[in-house]
Amino acid sequence: MSGIKVFAPASIGNIGVGFDIMGAAINNPGDEIVVKKGAAPGLTIDKIFGDHGRLSKEVEKNTAGKSALALMKYLGKEEEPISFEIYKKMPFSSGLGSSAASAVAGAFAINEYFKRPLSKPELLPFAMEGEKLASGAFHADNVGPSLLGGILLFEYNSLYYQRLYSPEGLTLVVIHPQIEILTSEARAILKSEISLKSHVEQSANLGLFITGLMKGDFECIGRGLKDIIIEPQRSKLIPFFEDVKKSAIDSGALGCSISGAGPSMFAIAQNTFTAERICNAMVEIFSKNKIQTTSYISPINNEGAILL
């Protein structure tokens, strides 16, 4: 094969009320990898674009390389000459699953190159090898949606998942302020224990959110999308968080919270018209406070990783 290109999309981890167990894929941004026959045995990463020199070309130290190599070993293809060109089109430490997209793209590229010996769901454990390298934790709330698309709910500390229904019209608004929050930093500030009251309230919110999705009940979705555990702790890391969130709700958002570990924020709208209004309102708050942003409006991406 002369070469192929694959794409793995960004994702919203946690979706507020589903810490480490729920995530959703969006259409853009995402990472791309060109895979082709290499000049020497084994996998090599020849070029990386868009990383500003931050990523290693050493396969074992690269998120995409790690997941790709894990799959190659499983397939007995580790000596096949394969070359990667990685196009990093996602911001680092953005809360949009940047490392997960790279990990997914690496495994998906190898599977496509060898004419799909495995199904998409079977690629999950290999993509997780790359994600674990980057995050040091085992949770698939970003990797799963980036690979498989949709809104996914995972069993805790497991790769068992269920795909949740996304109602027609449901639209995601994502605002990425140009600040950087390391996932390790955002995780370090979290309390290790919560009260029984908080557990019960959050459980009810998660149940309402999932029920709202499955029934296509937007009121129920809005009632459930209230994170009372993680958001109050992490929101302090995002400048003007409360003002931005209020602007989203006042503009018609069903709910608004932190995407992954932040600093990106997401809001859920019933349709694209409302989503545009919400997006403009959220961006305006950041802009008035001299913080540049990048915004994305997207339906749920139900495809996940694709061959371009």
* Number of other CB atoms surrounding residue 52 within 10 Å: 9
Classify the phi-psi angles of 20: left when phi > 0, otherwise alpha if psi is within -120 to 50, otherwise beta. left
Domain range for residue 88?
4-164+303-307
| pTM recorded for the entire structure | 0.95
115 SS3 class: coil
Residue 139 sits in the same domain as residue 176: no
Which DSSP helix (H) or strand (E) runs through 141? none
Sign of CA dihedral 52, 172, 235, 195: negative
Residue 89 sits in the same domain as residue 200: no
Spatial CA neighbour of 304 closest among 161, 157, 184, 115: 161
Which DSSP helix (H) or strand (E) runs through 292? none
Active site residue 183: yes
Residue 92 sits in the same domain as residue 225: no
Catalytic residue among 32, 112, 129, 131: 131
Residue 40 sits in the same domain as residue 180: no
Whichever domain contains 114, its CATH number is 3.30.230.10
Spatial CA neighbour of 307 closest among 65, 32, 89, 81: 32
Residue 70 sits in the same domain as residue 106: yes
Spatial CA neighbour of 174 closest among 20, 288, 270, 299: 299
Residue 214 sits in the same domain as residue 289: yes
Query: How many domains does the chain contain in total?
Result: 2
Catalytic residue among 63, 171, 183, 293: 183
Tens place of pLDDT for every residue, the chain, 308 residues? 579 999 999 999 999 999 999 999 999 999 999 999 999 999 999 999 998 889 999 999 999 999 999 999 999 999 999 999 999 999 888 999 999 999 999 999 999 999 999 999 999 999 999 999 987 778 999 999 999 999 999 999 999 999 999 999 999 999 999 998 877 788 889 999 999 999 999 999 999 999 999 999 999 999 999 999 999 999 999 999 999 999 999 999 999 999 999 999 999 999 999 999 999 999 999 999 999 999 999 999 999 999 99
35, 84 Cβ separation under 8 angstroms = yes
Active site residue 131: yes
Whichever domain contains 283, its CATH number is 3.30.70.890
**Tokens read off for 49:** 């674009």
